[in-house]
Amino acid sequence: MKNLLSMEHLSNDEVLAILERAREFEQGAETKLQRSYYVANLFFEPSTRTKTSFEMAERKVGCTVIPFEAGFSSMLKGETLYDTVKTLEMIGLDTVVIRAKEDEYYKELLEGINVGIINAGDGTGQHPSQSLLDLYTIYKEFGRFEGLTVTIAGDISHSRVAKSDAIALRRLGVNVNFLCPPEWAGDFEAQHAWNGLLEESDVIMLLRIQHERHDVYFSKENYHQQFGLTPEREKQMKEHAIIMHPAPVNRDVEIASELVECGRSRIFQQVQNGVFVRMAILETILKER
Ligand code: CP
């Protein structure tokens, strides 16, 4: 695997190999990388988890992390992303992790660039490392994918997590439902009321309302009442069902604040799992260089 760009490009075998390697890292395995590789994290959109988690994973697999400040880079003087990444390649970097606001920004990097590219989120497109950590969280919980039911509720059309997860989960045999207001469904067939979803789902995955991508008035209270996970709805979930959310969380909008760390919530475990999964992603890409 030279790059990680979209879950569409990964076979089930490649996904399962990354999850298995993440499990080994969680159990204390050492990296198989033979030398220290140079990596940089280019984040042109805000991030807390993904950027920090990649940096932790990079250090844990022995990489040398070269600082890159998107807000002080020469892209502010008009340099293209291609020229920026080519420049980093010539300086000696092996791999770059990129988050950018344009969908499929990585397409301009596929010809002529010889560093590994890891997509840490492209606009409303894909978020493959988040998807892999979501899969790892589900696999750790249930030990399988086949036959599970996952309901993804929230801002579906703007969500790169929903798109990435739906592709991967369905290919692994998971029944995926969507729940959102009618105007947020995008290309997905979604339900617009909770009817039956709580009782039948093994995973309820809430998504952040991406206020920065909406330009019409939105009532947080109305949304919470109709589509949010309230304490009353949590009580209707299956006994062994879990709650997930890629975070950051809008407390009391998509999920009641008191449920964020409840017994069935895996929201902060997802963050922890992300480090092991990103170690596995980095090792997989770097060992082929
Ligand atoms: N889940 C996620 O991508 O979080 P950040 O935006 O904080 O990286």
Encode pLDDT of 157-181 as tens digits. 999 999 999 999 999 999 999 999 9
Residue 217's pLDDT is what? Answer: 76
Residue 212's pLDDT is what? Answer: 72
Q: How far is CA 221 from CA 200, 225, 251, 256, in A?
A: 26, 6, 11, 11
Residue with CA nearest ligand 1 atom 4: 49
Strands (E), 18-105: 38-43, 64-65, 95-100
Q: What is the mean pLDDT of residues 258-263?
A: 98
CA of 179 to the centre of ligand 1 (A): 21
Give the CATH number of domain 7-125+272-286; options: 3.30.365.10, 1.20.1440.20, 3.40.50.1370, 3.40.50.300.
3.40.50.1370
> pTM (2 decimals)?
0.96
pLDDT digits (tens, 9 = 90+) for 62-76: 999 999 999 999 999
CA of 34 to the centre of ligand 1 (A): 30
| Atom of ligand 1 at shortest range from CA of 48 | 7
pLDDT band (50, 70, 90) for residue 218: confident
Tell me: pLDDT of 289 over 80. Answer: yes
Q: What is the mean pLDDT of residues 77-88?
A: 98
Q: What is the mean pLDDT of residues 27-55?
A: 97
User: Is the minimum distance from the CB of 47 to ligand 1 under 6 angstroms?
Assistant: yes
- Measure the CA–CA gap between 83 and 81, rounded to whole angstroms: 6
Fold of 128-266: Rossmann fold (3.40.50)
CA of 122 to the centre of ligand 1 (A): 12
Binding site as annotated, residues for carbamoyl phosphate: 49-50, 99, 127, 130, 247-248
Binding site as annotated, residues: 49-50, 77, 99, 127, 130, 160, 208, 247-248
Where do you find CATH 3.40.50.1370 in the chain?
A: 7-125+272-286, 128-266
Residue 197's pLDDT is what? Answer: 98
CA of 278 to the centre of ligand 1 (A): 13
Residue 40's pLDDT is what? Answer: 98
- Measure the CA–CA gap between 5 and 238, rounded to whole angstroms: 35
User: Is the minimum distance from the CB of 130 to ligand 1 under 6 angstroms?
Assistant: yes
Report the percentage of the chain scoring pLDDT > 90: 94
CA of 98 to the centre of ligand 1 (A): 13
- Measure the CA–CA gap between 54 and 118, rounded to whole angstroms: 10
Report the percentage of the chain scoring pLDDT > 70: 100
Which residues lie below 8 Å from residue 115, measured CB to CB, with a gap of 6+? 85, 88, 89, 93, 94, 95, 96
**Pairing, β 242-244 against β 149-153:** unpaired
